[in-house]
């Protein structure tokens, strides 16, 4: 039997089975993906005994699927491909390519080699598919047979979501209605996160906090490795602080947070704290909304009753089925923790002998575990505090983007890591990063990524231990990161509204061509910034003119060349001619920073627009419309700044602007625009 449902306009669900329909896949059962995106029941479009289904976009394409379901589970989906169409997506299942035509992808979470298999594939023609399945499966994208997409699994139900968009951007927008939009991280998360060496103590962390400020190196989150716990790698819900390293006077309560606390002192300096976590907990009792109940097994006919044999015995010695995982973390939140790094430890391992929630085998749970973990952490923190947490994870599956940020796992910094971030972008996942180190090239890539993280867990690559040149480069990039906040935060909001990610492969910017499919070391960060990182072979897109972001000069040389970074810099960055880039003065930390003035950098060329976004930076009020926007347009040689619209609790006054007009030779002129000038009508600034 084949059924096709219309979930909402241009989104369809295709189901096929032989004997009887299988139970609801766990992705949709747990509402990780939403099959009622507009709040109404799906509309049955067709029901047939034929193993085929056809959906499409009128006037653009028609997709004809051939379906085959096994007698006892498992399936294959076949779709003819146009030889000219280009395919993107699948997440971080491999790090060799961005365009997937001719690629064979095994979709199973594996440590390091496949941190984030995402069964989402989209076409340059505008359509996309999402497989509603958590079992291991294969996307054969014309690897075995020319111009044929085959999706197959040995287990599970044939359940496919089809998005009929007009281009890649539209496909991502439609997919986001089902999988969810990227979450807005707390304001401070878009600054620098520094993870301390695992030998850190409370005093050394506070000393480092002072060093960062004394050396004018902005930083926002401080992270601790597993040694913050009394028991190294404590998977249980009984974990406690390692009091030899992070002392809390014994006479104070476990959830103490006042002036005797080192975390209180750290927060008072403007920093937030992140704690490393490992987890092997059975999270699915909570998802099933069940409570485990012991059952007594006795009989009056027995002459002898042994108490050791009277109760149900659970082999899982960690999980408390009636206690959600987040419950034991509340005391650490009370202590002042505002972020959690969800390490891959054990959750990426196979558990072949485990039955989750008393009913699911590991082959159905394995891919799903990381996203359920992120879901419960995000929701648990929000319910307990009313605020956003900085949750970050290396394990990814559909839906992760609406719960957490991600980093590229324990794989350092490389071109392969850049490819992984680009492939996540092609699935609508925006808040991505990696483990940066203190080399110039890595600092450059890190500072110009969606979020910035330096992991010093097993080394001493602190900014001040690498010599004066390293420290100067570190300072430059940390300050640049802080200055970029208004620009980055505004594009984080666009991602939260549209699923168009902050970091974009060139193929996601220049939609009409495939000539950038092999460009792995350059990407757009928002609409304006073109970043070159890790290698110095620059490919400037011919569709636009470009200004050097560091010198301000308009590029007039060849489009393809080898760039040589000078001084403190570790790579190239360019601004598209016809752009508006809003920056701020750097601050020690972003957490409570509210600048009185911002810098509006104008790079003339084409007409352009930019909308400056603001919210409280801490709560989920933005999801209810609690935010403000200030629109700016560039038409020819005229910049207009429109009155601020919207608002949110405790919103500060509108800022003054310093408009900086860039010229081809690298010179610039600045004019001051007070907030009063655009309060009631647009401020008009002609070319300076």
Query: How confident is the model over 93-110, as pLDDT tens digits?
Result: 999 999 999 999 999 999
**% of the chain at pLDDT higher than 70:** 97
Residue 381 is assigned to a structural domain of this protein: yes
In the structure encoding, which two tokens stand for residue 503, read together?
């970091």
Q: Is residue 336 part of a domain?
A: yes
For the residues 432-436, what does the mean pLDDT come to?
Answer: 97
Contacts of 59 (CB under 8 A, 6+ apart): none
For residue 182, the model assigns a pLDDT of 98
Copy the structure tokens of residue 578: 């016809």
- Same domain membership, residue 282 and residue 247: yes
Do 30 and 90 have their domain in common?
yes
Q: Please name which of 116, 198, 122, 197 lies closest in space to residue 166, comparing C-alpha atoms.
A: 122
434 is a domain residue: no
**Phi, psi dihedral angles at 162 (to 5 degrees):** -120, 130
Could you tell me if 143 and 159 lie in one domain?
yes
Q: Is 193 a domain residue?
A: yes
pLDDT for position 72: 87
Gap between the Cα atoms of 381 and 384, Å rounded: 5
Q: Buried (b) or exposed (e) across 550-564, using 16+ Cβ within 10 A?
A: bebebbeeeeeeebe
Q: Which CATH number is 639's domain given?
A: 2.60.40.1180
Question: 195 and 173 share a domain?
Answer: no
Angle, vertex CA 277, rays to CA 274 and CA 282, nearest 5? 140
Residues 553 and 594 in one domain: yes
What is the distance between the alpha carbons of residues 467 and 561, in angstroms, rounded to a whole number? 31
Residues 217 and 250 in one domain: yes
Q: Is 437 part of a structural domain of the chain?
A: no
pLDDT digits (tens, 9 = 90+) for 113-158: 999 999 999 999 999 999 999 999 999 999 999 999 999 999 999 9
Give the pLDDT confidence of 34-73 residue by residue, as tens digits: 999 999 999 999 999 999 999 999 999 999 999 999 988 9
Query: Are 216 and 168 found together in one domain?
Result: no
Q: Verify that 23 and 166 share a domain, yes or no.
A: yes
Domain stop point among 151, 179, 207: 179
* CB neighbour class for 443 (10 Å; exposed up to 12, middle 13-18, buried from 19): buried
In a domain, 481, yes or no: no
Q: What is the mean pLDDT of residues 391-396?
A: 98
Q: Cα(252)–Cα(241) distance, rounded to whole angstroms?
A: 13
Q: Residue 54 belongs to a domain with what CATH number?
A: 2.60.40.1760
At residue 300, the pLDDT reads 34
* 418, part of any domain: no
Q: Is residue 425 within 8 Å of 438, Cβ to Cβ?
A: no
Same domain, 47 and 193: no
Domain that holds residue 392: 187-407
Region 651-670: mean pLDDT is 97
| 226 in the same domain as 199 | yes
- Look at residues 364, 384, 407 and tell me which one is the last residue of a structural domain: 407
Spatial CB neighbours of 390, under 8 Å, sequence gap ≥ 6: 185, 186, 188, 189, 193, 221, 272, 274, 338, 339, 340, 405
Say whether pLDDT at 302 is over 80: no
Pair (264, 383) in one structural domain: yes
Please give the tally of structural domains in the chain.
Answer: 3
Return the sign of the alpha-carbon dihedral for residues 464, 465, 467, 469. negative
Q: Which of 376, 407, 438 is the last residue of a domain?
A: 407
Banded pLDDT at 292 (limits 50, 70, 90): very low
Q: Which are the contacts of 95, defined by CB distance < 8 A and separation ≥ 6?
A: 416, 417, 419, 420, 423
**Which whole-number Å values give the CA distances from 106 to 91, 121, 150, 424, 590, in the listed order?**
11, 13, 12, 16, 41
233 with 131, same domain: the answer is: no
Q: How far is CA 53 from CA 7, 160, 394, in A?
A: 15, 11, 36
- CATH number of residue 328's parent domain: 3.20.20.80
Give the residue carrying structure tokens 């890591």. 417
Question: What per-residue confidence (pLDDT) applies to 323?
Answer: 95
Domain contains 444: no
Taking the C-alpha atoms of residue 328 and residue 662, their distance in angstroms, rounded to an integer, is 54
Q: Is the pLDDT of residue 301 over 50?
A: no
Rounded to an integer, what is the distance from CA 220 to the centroid of its chain?
A: 18
Rounded mean pLDDT of the chain? Answer: 95
């Amino acid at each position: 039997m084949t059924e096709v449902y219309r979930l909402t306009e241009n989104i369809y669900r295709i189901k096929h089975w032989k004997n009887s329909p299988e139970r609801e896949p766990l992705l949709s059962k747990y509402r990780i993906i939403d099959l009622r995106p507009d709040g109404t029941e799906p509309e049955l479009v067709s029901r047939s005994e034929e193993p085929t289904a056809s959906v499409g976009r009128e006037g653009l394409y028609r997709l004809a699927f051939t379906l085959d379901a096994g007698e006892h589970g498992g399936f294959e989906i076949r779709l003819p491909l146009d030889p000219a169409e280009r395919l993107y997506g699948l997440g971080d299942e491999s790090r060799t390519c961005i365009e997937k035509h001719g690629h064979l992808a095994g979709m199973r979470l594996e440590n390091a080699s496949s941190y984030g298999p995402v069964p989402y594939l989209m076409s340059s023609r505008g359509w996309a598919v999402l497989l509603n399945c958590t079992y291991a499966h294969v996307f054969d994208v014309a690897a075995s047979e020319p111009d044929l997409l085959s999706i197959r699994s040995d287990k599970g139900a044939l359940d496919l979501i089809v998005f009929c968009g007009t281009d890649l951007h539209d496909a991502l927008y439609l997919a986001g209605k089902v999988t969810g939009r990227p979450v807005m991280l707390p304001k401070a998360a878009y600054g620098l996160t520094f993870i301390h060496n695992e030998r850190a103590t409370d005093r050394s962390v506070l000393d480092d906090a002072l060093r960062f400020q004394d050396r004018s190196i902005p930083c926002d989150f401080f992270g601790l490795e597993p040694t913050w716990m009394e028991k190294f790698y404590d998977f249980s819900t009984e974990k406690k602080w390692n009091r030899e390293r992070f002392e809390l006077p014994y006479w104070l309560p476990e959830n103490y947070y006042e002036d005797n606390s080192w975390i209180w002192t750290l927060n008072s300096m403007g920093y937030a704290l992140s704690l490393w976590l490992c987890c092997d907990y059975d999270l699915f009792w909570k998802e099933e909304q069940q409570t485990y109940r012991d059952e007594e097994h006795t009989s009056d006919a027995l002459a002898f009753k042994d108490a050791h044999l009277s109760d149900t015995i659970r082999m899982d010695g960690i999980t408390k089925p009636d206690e959600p995982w987040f419950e034991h973390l509340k005391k650490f939140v009370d202590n002042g923790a505002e972020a959690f790094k969800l390490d891959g430890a054990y959750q990426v391992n196979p558990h072949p002998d485990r039955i989750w929630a008393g009913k699911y085998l590991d082959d159905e749970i394995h891919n799903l575990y990381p996203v359920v973990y992120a879901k419960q952490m995000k929701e648990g923190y929000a319910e307990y505090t009313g605020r956003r947490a900085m949750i970050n994870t290396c394990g990814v599956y559909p839906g992760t983007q609406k719960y957490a940020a991600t980093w590229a796992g324990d794989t350092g910094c490389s071109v392969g890591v850049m490819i992984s971030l680009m492939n996540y972008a092609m699935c609508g996942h925006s808040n991505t990063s990696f483990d940066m180190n203190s080399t110039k090239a890595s600092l450059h890539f890190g500072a110009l990524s969606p979020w910035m993280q330096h992991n010093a867990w097993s080394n001493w690559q602190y900014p001040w231990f690498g010599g004066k040149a390293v420290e100067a480069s570190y300072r430059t990039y940390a300050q640049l990161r802080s200055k970029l906040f208004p620009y980055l935060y505004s594009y984080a909001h666009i991602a939260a509204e549209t699923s168009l990610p902050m970091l974009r492969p060139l193929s996601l910017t220049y939609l009409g061509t495939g000539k950038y499919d092999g460009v792995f070391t350059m990407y757009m960060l928002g609409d304006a910034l073109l970043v070159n990182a890790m290698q110095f072979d620059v490919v400037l897109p011919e569709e636009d003119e470009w200004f050097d972001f560091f010198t301000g000069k308009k590029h007039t040389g060849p489009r393809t060349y080898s760039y040589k970074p000078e001084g403190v810099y570790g790579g190239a960055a360019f601004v598209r001619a016809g752009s508006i880039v809003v920056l701020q003065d750097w601050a020690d930390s972003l957490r409570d920073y509210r600048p009185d003035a911002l810098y509006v950098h104008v790079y003339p060329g084409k007409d352009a627009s930019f909308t400056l976004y603001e919210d409280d930076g801490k709560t989920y009020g933005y999801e209810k419309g609690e935010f403000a926007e200030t629109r700016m347009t560039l038409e020819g040689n005229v910049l207009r700044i429109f009155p601020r619209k919207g608002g949110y609790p405790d919103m500060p006054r509108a800022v003054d602007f310093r408009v900086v007009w860039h010229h081809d030779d690298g010179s610039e002129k600045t004019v001051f625009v007070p907030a009063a000038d655009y309060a009631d009508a647009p401020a008009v600034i002609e070319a300076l």
